[in-house]
Structure 1
Amino acid sequence: MDTIVQSAASGAPVTFALIAINVIVFIVETFSGGSMNIDVARRFGAMTVGDLERGQWWRLFSSMFVHFGIVHLGCNMLSLLNLGVVIERYLGSSLMSGSVFTAVVYLVSGLAGNLLTWRVQRSRGQYYVVSAGASGAICGLLGVYVAMLLVPGLSSMLDFKAVLFNVALCIAPGLSNKEVNLWAHLGGLVGGFLVAVVYFFLLRA
């Protein structure tokens, strides 16, 4: 078992590092008052519009590593594993390795999702709604798959219907459940797609 884990990690070090960071933060949250505790979440980097406008802009990044409960964490980490490993292993090049690309997509997509969340919540006067989670960053990885559908050499690796189905799964929960941050999902999806388009059609051209 150890050999299998080491082999997987060696093929996708950034994906496994991101999972490890999220899990470690969750464990520390749990032992610091509970991951479902809003005050604990904010202490560990969850964001609100009010916090951001008090100059705590670092929360745009820290919040993508904070989760509310084991189900929230588990679903996000399973998605990160499934999406990240494939991207990291197969999209390497001499210009930008698959690992660097994965890290860039995760961070830029998470930032895009959080910025869109900030703008929407600010326009609605929702200054103290707490947002956290890796969903925006993970939807950004899904956005890479959408971009791959436009690349002849890569589109053959994918099932078009499966990609669209997963895009629907990314968006649908936010339409039916107000506790799910639709804007983080949408912002992350678009952010990841744009990073991938730049990579595939400009940097690798």
Structure 2
Amino acid sequence: MVQLEKYGGVTFSHIADFEIWRLFMSQVIHVKQIHMLYNVTSLFIIGTYIERHLGSVRLLMLWLLSGISGTLISTLFVSPPWNLGTGGSQAIMGLAAAGVVLIYRRMDMSIGLKIATGFALLPAISLDIVFAHYPKPGHVFGFLVGIGVCLFFINGFSKEQIRNKGQVG
């Protein structure tokens, strides 16, 4: 994992040194290929549903805000040098949270969104519990940020803007 620092792994000291590029790169580098495959598959499946409701720009903002904040929080709970933030799981948890919001608010009750949300959420939490014995703080924080961002997007814009997916012009 520490080898990924040169590729974009992030800690708070990197941000203090104004290495802002790491906030984005840390979302796309992964320790294990199977983990990356799961995140990409989750992004594709649940992202398709979320994009229908929020639009592509807001989907990207949701993904980045959940991922960056969750990744940074996750670095606080691991001792150096292993406190390097990598992977997109926190962003996927944010998208899963948006799925939960859309289902809870009855904006999308499709079986597809329910399956996509479960696919994104259940393996991540299950693996956390099996290996760490608790949900990882970065995953929980990414999920909470996802709820907040999604609620902001669906409450902060008119229904017509949501229907038009926030298209400008």
TM-score band by shorter chain is 0.7 to 0.9
Gapped runs of 5+ residues in structure 2? 160-169
1:118 maps to 75
2:53 maps to 91
2:162 maps to none
1:34-45 correspondence to structure 2 within 5 Å: 38-39=2-3, 41-45=4-8
* 1:161 Cα offset (Å): 6.8
Distance 1:50 1:195 in 2: 26
2:37 maps to 74
Instruction: Report how many aligned residue pairs link the two structures.
Output: 156
| Superposition TM-score, scaled by structure 2 size | 0.76
1:128 maps to 81
* 1:156 Cα offset (Å): 2.4
Q: Which amino acid aligns with 2:101?
A: A
Distance 2:27 2:13 in 1: 17
Gapped runs of 5+ residues in structure 1? 1-36, 93-97
Distance 2:113 2:24 in 1: 31
Distance 1:72 1:189 in 2: 18
Is 2:142 the counterpart of 1:188? yes
After superposition, the C-alpha distances for 1:168-187 in whole angstroms (9 at most, x for unaligned) are: 43322122214x98222111
* Structure possessing the higher radius of gyration over alpha carbons: 1
Provide the aligned C-alpha RMSD in A: 2.8
